[in-house]
Amino acid sequence: MPDWHCTHLGTPDSIGDSTKVLTGAADSLCKLWDTQTGKELANFENGSAVRTCGFSFSGHDVMYSTDKTMGRSCEVLFFDTRDQSQLENNSPYMKITAPDSKVTSATWSNLDKELISGHDNGALCLWDLKTGSMVEEIMEHTKGVNDIQLNKTGQLFVTACKDSTSKLFNATTLEHLKTYKTDRPVNSAAISPLYDHVCLGGGQEAMDVTTTSSRIGKFETKFFHMIFEEEFARFKGHFGPINSVAFHPDGKSCSTGGEDGFVKINYFDSQYFEFDFEV
* Res 68: pLDDT: 85
- Give 170-185 pLDDT, tens digit per residue: 999 999 999 999 999 9
Q: CA–CA separation, 3 vs 179, rounded Å?
A: 41
The yes-or-no verdict on residue 50 having pLDDT over 60 is yes
Q: CA–CA separation, 203 vs 186, rounded Å?
A: 7
195 three-class SS? coil
Q: Which domains does the chain have, with CATH numbers?
A: 1-139 (2.130.10.10), 151-279 (2.130.10.10)
Beta carbons within 8 Å of 147's beta carbon, 6+ residues apart: 11, 105, 118, 159, 160, 186, 187, 188, 189, 244
* Res 2: pLDDT: 55
* Res 1: pLDDT: 44
- Give 8-20 pLDDT, tens digit per residue: 555 667 777 789 9
* Res 17: pLDDT: 79
Give the model's confidence band at 60: pLDDT under 50 very low, under 70 low, under 90 confident, else very high.
very high
The yes-or-no verdict on residue 162 having pLDDT over 70 is yes
Bigger pLDDT: 114 vs 99? 114
* Res 140: pLDDT: 97
Beta carbons within 8 Å of 195's beta carbon, 6+ residues apart: 251
Q: Which of 100-104, 137-141, 274-278 has the highest mean pLDDT?
A: 137-141
Give the model's confidence band at 279: pLDDT under 50 very low, under 70 low, under 90 confident, else very high.
low
Write the DSSP symbol of residue 71: T
DSSP 118-174: EETTSEEEEEETTTTEEEEEEE--SS-EEEEEE-TTSSEEEEEETTSEEEEEETTT-
The yes-or-no verdict on residue 214 having pLDDT over 50 is no
Q: CA–CA separation, 103 vs 35, rounded Å?
A: 27
Write the DSSP symbol of residue 11: B
Give the model's confidence band at 208: pLDDT under 50 very low, under 70 low, under 90 confident, else very high.
low
Mean pLDDT of the chain: 90
The arithmetic mean of pLDDT across residues 201-208, rounded, is 74
